[in-house]
Structure 1
Amino acid sequence: MRYVIGVDLGTSSVKLLLVNQHGVLEDEVTKDYPLIQKKSGYSEQEPEQWVKQTVAGLAELLKRFEGSPTAIEGISFAGQMHGLVLLDENNKVLRNAILWNDTRTTPQCRYIYDEVGESRLLQITKNPALEGFTLPKLLWVKQNEPDLFGSAGKFLLPKDYLRYRLSGQLHMDYSDAAGTLLLDIESNNWSEKLCNILDIDPAICPPLVDSHAEVGNICKAVAEQTGLSQSTKVFAGGADNACGAIGSGILADGKTLCSIGTSGVILSYEDSNDKDFEGKVHYFNHGAPDAYYTMGVTLSAGFSLSWFKELFAAGESFEEMVSEVDSVPAGSNGLLFTPYLNGERTPHADASIRASFIGLDSSHTRKEIVRAIMEGITFSLNESLHIFRNNGKKIDTIVSIGGGAKNDVWLQMQADIFNATIVKLSSEQGPGMGAAMLAAYGCGWYATLGACADQFLKVEKTYTPNPVTVMEYAKLFGVYQQVYQYTRKLNEDLLEFRQ
């Protein structure tokens, strides 16, 4: 039997999957690491923690593995997007990584528009200047930590730094590069035009490779620490959302994904890079060869439930916390939640907006509040579907992965709010499985990623929309869409009071 390992470097933990040549998950390990939040809007991590916990996880996998280490033929990576890792000329880390959910860079986004122009930026990158992207973070360091920035030799994204530490080879794949706001999506090269306008040395950008590209082997030191063989091939991997799409079979035009993790994503496959969504949704390179995807993002999706759990249900599991939501009718007895805990991405791109409960009264109990949070997250994701459909995309079937796929009530809620059939996979591992599939494809096990998906992915259950509930949610969605407009100015006025 032959095996590959998929590594999913997330925001709160790294997950490692050992998968055999038939797509069966043989073993998995998860290792946590902390967030560093020094003040409101800041979100950082220490890159060494990613390496330490990944190496520990690999050692744990190999300790339990009964086969020969040489049977593990490849390893690949999925990773949290947009995060900035700055290295010096000797490839040593210069500062904590600034993560995707860090929103300190509003002035830098304005600066990009002032210097580049919004239309020219969209023409080059297909994406607007948003606080979460990498380029504004680079400019923040350049403007606020100039001496440190002057020592920078290269920048990487999180999973690229991890891969460098495991293999000694330094690259970035196209799917993650597309999320930096420095990739010319038409030429698939770093944009020298943007670098020149913004006074960034293009040499700081790493070499670009395909997601399935073999970039090296496990280095000797890591092999000794983990038990892996030095013959294990290392593949570039991709952005977590690109890998989530691969690991969910989103490999043909019209296929759509709903992924609910810390953030939430609606992602749809595109076979070309020439469509125009006017920057309302993201337009990125896929991890599949010669493909792209459009994507809308809810910044605080699963995080909204985690936030509530930590404050009001710390001693319970998520299953216990949501166990009574099926007894609450659609609409949560007149309670509405907007999941803007850390700002919002799609469709508002607003770092200042914050969450709201609308309609809360003394009759509401915890179960109504929990259901309202679940509905609010799903309404936010529906905003992205609304944009896709208004641009002519037909979406009638959606694969759901992540935390939102672990609860039958939430899956049915998605079917009713999205007005689409929801598909749950039998072994849903999301980005980690996509990374494993990239390794399997890179090892030559399959002629295409599609053939790999046919072997690796199976449908467990489908959820169809209830026409009556669809109508109720359509009416409530109209109310939801008004909340942002009514609360935007109020949140701007509260900015001076935030610590």
Structure 2
Amino acid sequence: MSYVLGIDLGTSSLKGILMDEAGQVICEKSSGYGIDTPANGYSEQRPEYWVVACEDVLTQLSIAVSDFGEKLAGISFSGQMHSLVTLDADFKPAYPAILWNDVRTTKQCEQIMSTFGERLLSITQNIALEGFTLPKILWLQENEPAIWQKVKKIMLPKDYLSFWFTGEICTEYSDAAGTLLLDIQKRAWSDEILNQFAISKDILPKLIPSMDRVGIVKEEICKRYNIKNEVSVFAGGADNACAALASGIADDEIGLVSIGTSGVFSSFEDKVADYQGKLHFFNHVIEDKYYSMGVTLAAGNSLSWFKETFAKGISFEDMLKDVYQIAPGSDGLMFTPYIAGERTPHIDSQVRGSFIGIDTKHTFNHFARAVMEGITFSLKDSQMIMEQAKQKKFKKLISVGGGAKNPDWMQMQADIFDAEMIRLSVEQGPGLGACMIAAMGLGWFETVEDLIKTFVDYKQATFTPNKENVAIYQAVYQKWQQIYQATKDF
């Protein structure tokens, strides 16, 4: 039985997951790296960091799995989105990669939106934010013109690893959609955008579908890790698209709720939907499909802040063990998770969080529950935009991340979202999505549906909405929505 390797190139580490044709995990390894912050608001990494981490993971796998070299058949990638990688004429990095969480480009975003905002939204279905790639290109043009003159190719982080493996330069549509350079309907680089901002199409990578083969692993890499066979390398996808595939999201009535440091509410989209820039909208790793997503900047981060500030030294489990005793709505106490600004639906980096309605009867458990409810309400904002724009209702939601680990929070999500909540038996995240892309690329499955049946496993126990709680939360949510307008000027 052959193996596929999914490589997830994250912001702080690179993870490799090795799986077989039955969808079973054979081995997982990871290797970390740091972020360089040479100035306030800057966030950079040298592409060499990713190669060193990848070499480390390949070494660990080749040692841990005796038949790694004999059975490896395919490799694919999941990668952090938006980060700008530049190569010179010798195909060496021309400048450190400017990461998705770098915020030096506010001026460039304002310039883009003031001069070209409506057309940009029409072509890309997104507005210019600091995280995207186009503003980073404009910053480099303006602030490092000598460096920009040396740039012969630009790409995304995972594509740099693909280049390292194969010597081929390309990208795929899910990551390209996050650059603000792609016409997402035509699935082509936009000549209009490139001309507007003096970017040559020659420096852009070739576009291919996520499940297409880029090439084969170089001979010298095969020798180094004792790989015996010809190993195909497939294009892969953006981390959020891969995570959606790994959760089995291939139906527009099933959504994904992910609560990590930030929070994401995402939905599969059959065709282009006009959310007027209120949500991110990107091409999917599934051919000719799309996905939309809203982002809460400080989801799990809000709960971590609360714990470190008010419950330092105890576990999350102990901190939350009695929240079930507090009634839905936390007896009038409400929290907004805007401690690091907010993204959806309020694109506001300056707003800050609030506890509203504090009363003498409120205890520690009230505050803990209010934080959980506030995070979930913020994600519901994205759900409401999707449902209202498309006149639909989500029947099921897959919950992953920290919000899926606590049964009281799962029930809270069911009640606030008014949808059945499902958990994965084992969460492998974007790395699993990369494995699934390689499996499809190798022809192991005829359809994505067959692929999902084999690789994605759900827990049998689900959480269904309590209609009484649903009604309570609908009333509380209407009040909660008023907090932003009432407090933003502070």
What TM-score do the two structures reach when normalised by structure 2?
0.92
Residue correspondence of structure 1 range 151-162 to structure 2 within 5 A: 151-162=150-161
Query: What SS is found at the alignment partner of 2:482?
Result: helix
Cα distance per residue 1:399-437 (max 9 Å; x no partner): 112232222222222111111101112122221111111
Residues 24-39 of structure 1 mapped to structure 2, 5 A cutoff: 24-37=24-37
C-alpha separation between the residues in 2 aligned to 1:324 and 1:9?
37
Pairwise mapping of residues 362-373 of structure 1 onto structure 2 (< 5 A)? 367-373=365-371
Task: After the TM superposition, list the runs of 4 or more consecutive aligned residues in structure 1 that deviate by more than 6 angstroms.
Answer: none
Alpha-carbon separation, structure 2, partners of 1:10 and 1:323: 32
- Closer/same/farther in 2, CA of residues 28 and 314 from structure 1, 3 Å limit: farther
Measure how far apart 1:483 and its partner are: 2.3
Q: CA separation in 2, counterparts of 1:371 and 1:36?
A: 36
Q: Is the 8 A contact 2:69 2:229 kept in 1?
A: no
- Structure 2 equivalent of residue 342 of structure 1: 340
CA-CA distance at 1:174 after TM superposition: 0.3
SS in 1 for 2:5: strand
Tell me the equivalent position of 1:450.
449
Alignment of 1:262-301 (within 5 A): 262-273=261-272, 275-301=273-299
1:352 corresponding residue in structure 2:
350
Q: Is the 8 A contact 2:255 2:396 kept in 1?
A: yes
CA RMSD of aligned residues (A): 2.4
Q: Percent identity?
A: 49
Q: In structure 1, the residue corresponding to 2:199 is in which secondary structure?
A: coil
- Alpha-carbon spacing, 1:276–1:436, altered in 2? closer, same or farther (3 Å): same
Deviations 1:347-379 (A, max 9, x none): 122233333333457876655444333322211
**In structure 1, distance between residues paired with 2:404 and 2:226:** 34
Report if the CA contact (8 A) 1:55-1:222 is conserved: no
Counterpart residue number, 2:48 = 48
Aligned to 2:249: 250
Give the equivalent residue in structure 2 for 1:81.
81
Matched residue, 1:469 = 469
**Matched ranges for 1:72-221 at <5 A:** 72-116=72-116, 118-221=117-220
Partner of 1:495: none
> In the alignment, is the contact (CA less than 8 A) between 1:86 and 1:152 conserved in 2?
yes
Q: Structure 1 residues 401-410 or 39-48, which shifts more?
A: 39-48
Q: Secondary structure at the match of 1:459?
A: coil
CA contact (8 A) 2:246 2:430 kept: yes
Amino acid at match of 2:294: G
Matched residue of 1:468: which SS?
helix
Asked if the contact 1:219/1:230 (under 8 Å) is kept, the reply is no
Deviation string, structure 1 residues 429-461 (Cα, Å, up to 9, x no partner): 221111111010101100122211111222213
Equivalent AA in structure 1 for residue 24 of structure 2: V
Alignment of 1:414-429 (within 5 A): 414-429=413-428
CA distance in 2, matches of 1:307, 1:166: 40
Task: Please state how far the C-alpha of 1:56 moved relative to its aligned partner.
Answer: 1.2
Deviation at 1:306, TM superposition (A): 4.0
| 1:329-363 superposed Cα distances (whole Å, 9 cap, x missing partner) | 43345443322343322112223333333345787
d(CA) in 1 for partners of 2:154, 2:308:
34
Task: Tell me the CA shift for residue 110 of structure 1.
Answer: 1.4
**AA at the equivalent of 2:190:** S
Tell me, yes or no, if the aligned pair for 2:68 and 2:227 is still in contact at 8 Å. no
Structure 1 pair 337–46 and aligned structure 2 pair: CA distance change class (3 A): farther
CA contact (8 A) 1:59 1:227 kept: no
**Does the 8 A contact of 1:103 with 1:351 survive in 2?**
no
Show the 5 A alignment for 1:368-383: 368-383=366-381
Which string of whole-angstrom CA distances, capped at 9 and with x for unpartnered residues, describes residues 444-493 of structure 1?
10012221111122221311111222222222222332222233222xxx
Whether the 8 Å contact between 1:76 and 1:237 is mirrored in structure 2 is: yes
1:228 is displaced (CA, Å) by 4.2
Deviation at 1:317, TM superposition (A): 5.0
* Contact 1:167 1:218 (8 Å CA) reproduced: yes
SS of 2:112's partner is helix
Measured in 2, the distance between the counterparts of 1:311 and 1:228 equals 50
Q: In structure 2, what is the Cα distance between the partners aligned to 1:308 and 1:232?
A: 47
Q: Secondary structure at the match of 2:489?
A: helix
Residue matched to 1:438: 437
Quick one: which amino acid aligns to residue 151 of structure 1? K
TM-score computed with the length of structure 1 as normaliser: 0.91
Q: 1:407 to 1:279 in 2, by over 3 A?
A: same
Cα gap change, 1:425 to 1:175, in 2 (>3 Å):
same
Gaps spanning 5+ residues in structure 1: where?
491-499
